[in-house]
Structure 1
Amino acid sequence: MGKVIMIMVDGLRYDTACMQMGYLHHLVEKNLAARFLVKTELPAVSRPMYEVLLTGTAPYVSGITSNDIVRLSKQKSIFHLAREKGLKTAAAAYYFISQLYNHVPYDIVGDREQKDEDNAIQFGKFYFDDSYPDSHLMIDGEILRSAYDPDFLLIHPMGMDYVGHLFGPDSKAYRKQAIELDRWFARFVPGWMENDYHIVITADHGMNSDGLHQGISPDERHVPLFTISSAFQPGCYREEVPQLAIAPMVCKLLNLEPAGEMSTYDISEGLERGTQNPI
């Protein structure tokens, strides 16, 4: 059984990841990582897509169909499945994640730091400001990893989404944010690789040229998936992968039986490697 670090980058477009994240593509070029093109579910907004990524169920099933639906998830998430098998769980994430899988309402003081082994997310650092720096968030995740040695760790930076809404995804600021985040990956990923983690890096949604997202355009729905794991053959894969396949994929890496409503699509099988060109 392996341990998994899952990084869910909020608002990262596929093309931006392909063009700006040089460290991750260094790993792909050196046959140490795989890159996939993921097509998100709809609507391409945060809370519903968090539920897709962490429970493997579509919004019409989960009932989490907008950011305005604030309640606990009714599905079994990766956190729940891991805890039921005696695994440790942790998250450094936006407060929506605490609301979905630990409890509501979110208290900005009481819920900022959480440690309760009865929770689905047993150890957590949950921020509430969209402008919370990705650098701080990445360090929050590493603190959780070092302190508690979780089997499943979610790290959820918001900087791409925040900058994209302010300046648009075609801006220097958005591209710079991707470069800066890639720099933090370059700082921490080598150590995680040395410790044999399965590393999964993806996004909840992309963003259109207006700095918005909820629609059906490829800019909003196409997001990256990088896997750094012996479970995947390295290289670039151009065939679209459904976003619903990511949660059961993580379950497989953790040696967990997926929940009954999760997709049965297996990302590690049946795809042919395509060109190594950036986009």
Structure 2
Amino acid sequence: MNKVILVVLDGLNAKTAHTYMGFLEHLIENNQCAAYRMNAELPAQSRPLYEVIQTGVPSYLNGIVSNGTVRRSKETSVFQLAKAAGLKTGAASYHWVSELYNKAPFNPMTDRIQLDTDQAIENGLFYYEDHYPDSHLIADGAYLINEKQTDYILIHSMNIDDIGHKFGSQSKEYVQAAVRMDALLANYLMDWLKKGYQVVVTADHGMNEYCTHNGVTEEERQVPLYIFSDKVTVGDCRETLVPQLQLAPLLCYLLAIEKSAAMQDLTFI
């Protein structure tokens, strides 16, 4: 099948993922996926990198240059390409994703639940508090997968990032947030694969010890990339540092749809 679930774990750096997320590491050890490191674009901020992930266009060209840039995207996203190809799109994510691809500004009174729309994200469940529980978020995504039969869905969590901003990347709290997400994925991932989904797990950016992210350090820029797909050779390839601009064309490849003209050619698999 050409269905894809993209899981974005906001604020998760590669070092923490590869050290403490034991379920995902178990699947690497047993050759169940391909594992890379990905180098996030700059600035290493959330809203600009949501746009990079979905469009493959860097910030200086796409115009989403900070978290304060609140407007619809002007680029062609994977959501749009998938919908144009007749695929069903969905997102269980932070409300900034809705602002980029469906409605801006986001109104929490009317825009939290967006089902069966004609927008780029046809079915969306959007939250607007950073501490919205990851357990609820993953359940929201599972609902859209099961009830709306989405072909391309984004599941985007904020708890790791939220904890990182409070305690920093060297804290026990940050590690514990990553461990909790690893356990949540363990409860869902194998079922998604049995249903024929390809699954990509990554992050937008990392986190540093000073409770922030924006710069060029490895902690802020290097994030994990796990790919579960029979279209990609399995194995531990983490010596390879993949540019984040490669993620959008990868998603198009997995969905078997044409990438946009603005996206790079896919080169790392």
Superposed pair shares fold, TM > 0.5: yes
Aligned to 1:121: 121
Q: How far, CA to CA, are the matches of 2:267 and 2:195 in structure 1?
A: 25
Q: Which runs of 4+ in 1 moved over 6 A?
A: none
For residues 242 and 115 of structure 2, the distance between their equivalents in structure 1, rounded to whole angstroms, comes to 35
Amino acid at match of 1:259: S
Shift of 1:265: 3.1
CA distance in 1, matches of 2:54, 2:40: 13
For structure 2, list consecutive stretches of 5 or more residues without a partner in the other structure: none
Structure 1 alignment gaps of length 5 or more = 269-279
Structure 2 match to 1:266: 267
1:218 aligned to 2:213? no
Quote the offset at 1:254 in angstroms: 0.6
Give the CA deviation at 1:27: 0.9
The letter for the 2-side match of 1:261 is A
Report deviation, 1:209: 1.1
Paired residues of 1:134 and 1:157 also in contact (CA < 8 A): yes
What fraction of aligned residue pairs are identical, expressed as a percent? Answer: 45
The corresponding residue for 1:256 is 257
Shift of 1:83: 0.7
Matched, 1:26 2:26: yes
Look up the match of 2:98. Answer: 98
| Aligned residue runs from structure 1 range 191-210, under 5 A | 191-210=191-210
* 1:9-24 aligned within 5 A: 9-24=9-24
Question: Where do 1:1-279 residues align within 5 Å?
Answer: 1-237=1-237, 238-268=239-269
How many residue pairs get aligned? The number is 268
User: Normalized against structure 1, the TM-score is what?
Assistant: 0.95
Q: Is the 8 A contact 1:13 1:224 kept in 2?
A: yes
8 Å CA contact retained: 1:54, 1:247 = yes
- Partner of 1:60, secondary structure, is helix
CA positional deviation for 1:117: 3.4
Q: CA deviation at 1:2?
A: 1.0
Query: d(CA) in 2 for partners of 1:167 and 1:208?
Result: 10
TM-score normalised by length of structure 2: 0.98
* Secondary structure of the corresponding residue to residue 161 of structure 2: helix
Q: Which amino acid counterpart does residue 205 of structure 1 have in structure 2?
A: H
Residue aligned with 1:156, SS: strand
Residue pair 1:8, 1:204 contacting (<8 A) in 2 also: yes
